[in-house]
Structure 1
Amino acid sequence: MPGGFPLAANLKWLFTELPFERRFDAAAAAGFGGVEYAAPYPYPPARLRGLLRAAGLRQVLINSPAGEPGSPERAGLACLPGRATDFRTGIERGLTYATELGAGLLHVLAGIVPPDVSAERAFATYVTNLAWAADQAHGTGVRIVVEAQNERDAPGYFLRTQARAAAVVEAVGRDRAGLLLDLYHAQVTEGDLVRTLGAWLPYALHLQIADPPDRTEPGTGELRWPRVFDAVREAGYAGWVGCEYRPAAGTVAGLGWVTEVTA
């Protein structure tokens, strides 16, 4: 645990040497206390609960449902005007999975802005939809989070900066939503990561990490991770750190960073 933060293995990105259902035990054996992944929906909740229980893991985060790769809905529906009914159906499904899995966080994907929709209209649509999602989550033990993603990896994604994502949180209410602050996306888009963290960590309910430029494990890229983790700790962040990176040479072989970059 770097700096004392509990680590969640992102099972979409880590342990891909194994079939999905075997990744839970592999994550536990490697020392992770929790897991996250974008899409639990191909599996019945009872099956996933069994895998979590058998491995002794906690489900930390899932995403709201999204469309198929290549579809207009591939990055979510929340900012798309005229899709409120479909959005609400997806949120209801996401909250059902989150509550049944014991996940404390539901990441509501913003979506890709259609070319004929202004940024102002997309923002208003997103805030309206997110407020409805937060209302549905109230009393369930699930918190709503939003994430800014960089233009290189997610072309057209509505939330591109931490400032825009935080503005959404402010509009909905900081007691009802928060940031999923992905340090890789933040560095690619905005740079000056330690100062960026200082500004936006107060909004964060969850962190995700990867090292630019190749989105590999910490210590393989351009960031000075001991300083980064110091900044996170100094800001008083006490939540999970999700490991959403592409292992450079195998998941287990690359886990030396957990001690190396925090020495």
Structure 2
Amino acid sequence: MKLSACIEWLFSDATGNFVERIRLAKKAGLDAVEFWFWSNKDIDAIERALAETGMSLSGFVAEPKIALTDPANREVFLLGLATSVQTARRLGAKVLIAQAGDDLAGRSREEQRQSLVETLRAAADVLEGSGVRLGLEPLNTLIDHKGYYLGSTVEGLDIVEAVARPEIGIVYDLYHSAVMGEKTEEVLAGRVGHVIHVHVADHPGRNDPGQGGIDLDQRLKWLFANGYSGAVGLEYRPAGSTADALPGVRAALGAAG
């Protein structure tokens, strides 16, 4: 199992130097790193640290982060996506993450869904031939992202299938899915091929796997048994020392030590 540390949160207990977290992830025996926004980072320093450590970069957020549910944002998003793709290729990242945006007042669900489909279809043209894919991410709307448009994994998959382009998939976050009461084997049945990246955290608290009640190991086992072969992004808030907790995290995920 390839584990990817989200260094926005992981190793932040050990250092305020963002780039140093790449080296700490390598020292801890993790396989890759990921982060959120790239435009506020020292990309030159990140590139050097990745080369120095041999770590891979799983992905980051496609900027600008604006509501794709609003067609008025389409051109701005596509221009930013082109620059995000350039940065991803420079750093060797294969996945960019897109969020749908809020459920807009005064707009029907269908209108917003159509905006998402059309924007993602245009995004596929930007991505074509780059080797980089864009993952639409469903989020829980009960705790962390109230007002967000896309709380359902099934609806996210329906949107991806309406786009019908290989450049577009979903980022499946087991934490968000579990908070929404979803069962992995039900919402992803026959559709695992659309999942281009996976995130994990436990619930309640969005803390270290093994500290809550989500059956993360069983859900991951099902995912891998049904065709998923990508990285597992550790996107959780460490309750204590990231490094000290990692053996327990690995055990909770059913990952080899």
TM-score by length of 2: 0.91
Q: What root-mean-square deviation, in Å, do the aligned CA atoms of Structure 1 and Structure 2 show? A: 1.8
Please, which of 61, 64, 85 is the counterpart of residue 95 of structure 1?
85
Q: Quote the Cα distance in structure 2 between the aligned partners of 1:214 and 1:123.
A: 30
Is the contact between residue 8 and residue 60 of structure 1 (CA under 8 Å) also seen in structure 2? yes
Local SS of the residue matching 1:255: helix
Bigger CA drift: 42-51 or 243-252? 42-51
**Amino acid paired to 2:21:** R
Where does residue 104 of structure 1 map in the other structure?
A: 94
What's the counterpart of residue 7 of structure 1? 3
Q: Is it true that 1:190 corresponds to 2:214 in the alignment?
A: no
* Separation in 1, partners of 2:229, 2:88: 21
Residue 84 of structure 1 deviates from its aligned partner by 2.0
Correspondences of 1:67-82 after superposition (within 5 Å): 76-82=66-72
- Aligned twin of 1:114: 104
Q: 1:122 to 1:247 in 2, by over 3 A?
A: same
Q: 1:217 offset after TM fit, Å?
A: 1.4
Letter of the aligned partner of 1:183 in structure 2? L
Q: Which among 128, 134, 139 is matched to residue 138 of structure 1?
A: 128
Instruction: Give the paired residue count.
Output: 251
Structure 1 residue 211 corresponds to structure 2 residue 207:
no
Task: State the alpha-carbon separation in 1 of the partners of residues 223 and 43 from structure 2.
Answer: 33
- Structure 2 regions of 5+ residues with no counterpart? none
Contact 1:6 1:240 in 2 (8 A): yes
Cα 1:174/1:187, change in 2 over 3 Å:
farther
Q: Structure 2: how far apart are the matches of 1:186 and 1:174?
A: 24
Alignment partners' CA distance in 2, 1:105 and 1:86:
20
Describe the SS at the equivalent of 1:16. coil
Q: Which amino acid aligns with 1:25?
A: R
The offset of 1:55, in angstroms, is: 2.1
Q: Deviations over 1:130-151 (max 9, x none)?
A: 1111111111110111110001
Per the normalisation by structure 1, the TM-score is: 0.89
Q: Which runs of 5+ in 1 are unaligned?
A: 67-74
- Structure 1 residue 197: Cα displacement: 4.5
